Structure 1
Amino acid sequence: MAMTLRVDIVSAEKSLYSGTAEAVIAPGLRGELGIYPRHTPLLTTLKPGTVRIKVPNQAEEVLVYVSGGILEVQPHVVTVLSDTAIRGADLDETKALEAKLAAEAAMKNKAGTLDYAQAQIELVQAVAQLATIKKLRNRA
């Protein structure tokens, strides 16, 4: 039997995943982080992207989009806290494309510095959602 760790992914609204995993891959600010059982304790921030969970005895990874957040790693526990987290299968491609186009339009208008920064954040999040959807399609 492979070694496992406990994984909890929690958003502001609800708990999205709670279970065991052989590995977790998360989108850190400086690149992807691969977490395996008995990993050194770690606390870091995440950028918008896909958290991939390798579940024991399951061929396909569980994909969860996060809008950023905090990753806490203990030797046998991984916790992800995010303002927004959505299971990959629940993402809406049409809404993500609309959000991307709206953010790009807002960036072109440059009404104010604050509006521009918010549009950049929304663009990054929409692109990350679309990347998660693309990963799901590539599995099929």
Structure 2
Amino acid sequence: MSTFLLEIVTPEHVVFSKEVESMTVRGIEGELGVMPGHIPLVTPLQVAPVVVKNGKETTMIAVHGGFVEIQSKKVIVLAESAELPGDIDLERAIAARERAERRLAARSNQDRVDQRRAELALQRAVTRINVSSRRND
């Protein structure tokens, strides 16, 4: 089967760099499946897992915003932050989710900025939990 190079990069380091058969990302307009030969494209990303497939192996990577650039033989994810399943502290992610849920539940005395920050914190925590929970798939 044909492959393409996928690189997931943060300002700090390269999180993932490997030849893959396909991937799925969540852009601002919905999910986007990418296979070799995809048309060139650049789009912003939502906070969501990137799903990478190679044969029967599926890997999920927690990606927290950024952009994806699709080229003919290479895809680059420029992420604000990204984590492989083994790098996620599940207990910390669960605690972060609970804090964000409490802040959102008490939103009557919050301004819009605090509410948006709580929503983003919740999305990041849920993404980490989902990726960490599927570590052995």
Same fold, TM-score > 0.5, yes or no: yes
Q: Does residue 67 in structure 1 map to residue 64 in structure 2? A: yes
Moved over 6 A (4+): none
* 2:26 counterpart residue number: 27
* 1:126 counterpart residue number: 125
| Deviation (angstroms), 1:35 | 0.6
* 1:93 counterpart residue number: 90
Task: For structure 2, list consecutive stretches of 5 or more residues without a partner in the other structure.
Answer: none
CA contact (8 A) 1:21 1:54 kept: yes
- CA distance in structure 1 between the aligned counterparts of 2:85 and 2:92, rounded to whole angstroms: 14
Q: Does residue 43 in structure 1 map to residue 42 in structure 2? A: yes
* 2:9 counterpart residue number: 10
Aligned to 2:8, the other structure's residue is in SS state: strand
What amino acid does structure 2 have at the position aligned with 1:97?
Answer: I
Scaled by the length of structure 1, what TM-score is found? 0.88
CA contact (8 A) 1:49 1:132 kept: no
* 1:106 counterpart residue number: 103
Q: Which shifted more, 65-74 or 24-33?
A: 24-33
| Deviation (angstroms), 1:89 | 2.1
Scaled by the length of structure 2, what TM-score is found? 0.89
Aligned to 2:17, the other structure's residue is in SS state: strand
CA contact (8 A) 1:3 1:37 kept: yes
CA RMSD, aligned part only?
1.5
